[in-house]
Chains A and B, each alone.
Chain A
Amino acid sequence: NAGVTQTPKFQVLKTGQSMTLQCAQDMNHEYMSWYRQDPGMGLRLIHYSVGAGITDQGEVPNGYNVSRSTTEDFPLRLLSAAPSQTSVYFCASSTPQGTEAFFGQGTRLTVV
């Protein structure tokens, strides 16, 4: 039971570098989303997707891009990393009824 798999678990970037956080799920969920969690705070929605080829912005989309070419994968791209993007990133996918979300283990990103 893989569920939602995020890679990498840890990453250090220099300011201005770009990178892609990977997220894959094997539950055939249509709905996937990316969140960031800053210290002492809740999760803030970055982008989400309701199915392959469809994405939309969440609460804090600036500085991030997403695409959804397959049901299974939902990568998050940081175009030009900034220290303000230092955070823990979570990917989630939802059941078809939307009554539960399954989360990945998180990616701890540090931008120096």
Chain B
Amino acid sequence: AQKITQTQPGMFVQEKEAVTLDCTYDTSDPSYGLFWYKQPSSGEMIFLIYQGSYDQQNATEGRYSLNFQKARKSANLVISASQLGDSAMYFCAMREGQGGGFKTIFGAGTRLFVKA
């Protein structure tokens, strides 16, 4: 069963506008973590933001925020004030269990194109 679903293969956004990248997940574990990573065309994986299942507040890191809706099992990434350098693949990931000791699995990704 698909555990991480990213339904948007590609997204376009105008420079300086905000964009939301969707992610839904499925787990029966009460303790889990949700991540977003950016992969530019150069290929490296860049960590963006983390949300723990018990965190009360939505995570924010600079222009990135994670819209965590636990009941809906969604963890959407919001990028504010898009920049040309934001053009990249974005992956949502989920770690089940506590600490660093359990599996982390990834969604198929969303390719974001930022237009000037």
Residues of chain A within 8 A (CB-CB) of B52 are 99
Say if the beta carbon of A74 comes within 8 Å of chain B.
no
Say if the beta carbon of B62 comes within 8 Å of chain A.
no
Say if the beta carbon of B72 comes within 8 Å of chain A.
no
Closest-CB distance, A37 to chain B (whole angstroms): 9
A-B pairs under 8 A by CB, number: 70
Given contacts A41-B109, A45-B104, A59-B105, contact A98 B47 (CB under 8 A): no
Say if the beta carbon of B91 comes within 8 Å of chain A.
yes
Say if the beta carbon of B100 comes within 8 Å of chain A.
yes
Within 8 A of A (CB), among B64-116: 91, 93, 95, 98-109
Give the size range of A's interface with the partner. Answer: 20 to 34
A35 contacts B99, C-beta separation under 8 Å: no
Residue in A92, A97, A106 whose CB lies within 8 Å of B99 = A97
Within 8 A of B (CB), among A34-72: 35, 41-45, 48, 50-51, 58-59
Quick one: CB contact mask for A19-41 with B, threshold 8 Å, 1 for yes? 00000000001110101000001
B105 contacts A98, C-beta separation under 8 Å: no
Given contacts A42-B108, A43-B106, contact A106 B100 (CB under 8 A): no
A98 contacts B43, C-beta separation under 8 Å: no
A18–B34 Cα gap in the complex (Å)?
35
A43–B45 Cα gap in the complex (Å)?
10
Given contacts A41-B108, A42-B106, A45-B105, contact A90 B45 (CB under 8 A): yes
Among the interface residues A31, A35, A99, which one has the most CB atoms of the partner chain B within 10 A?
A: A99
Residues of chain A within 8 A (CB-CB) of B93 are 43
Given contacts A96-B99, A97-B99, A98-B33, contact A33 B47 (CB under 8 A): no
Say if the beta carbon of B44 comes within 8 Å of chain A.
yes
Beyond A29-B100, A100-B35: 8 further Cβ-contacts under 8 Å?
Answer: A31-B99, A41-B109, A42-B4, A42-B107, A43-B91, A45-B105, A97-B100, A98-B33
Question: Which positions in B face A, CB cutoff 8 Å?
Answer: 4, 6, 33, 35, 43-45, 47, 50, 52, 91, 93, 95, 98-109
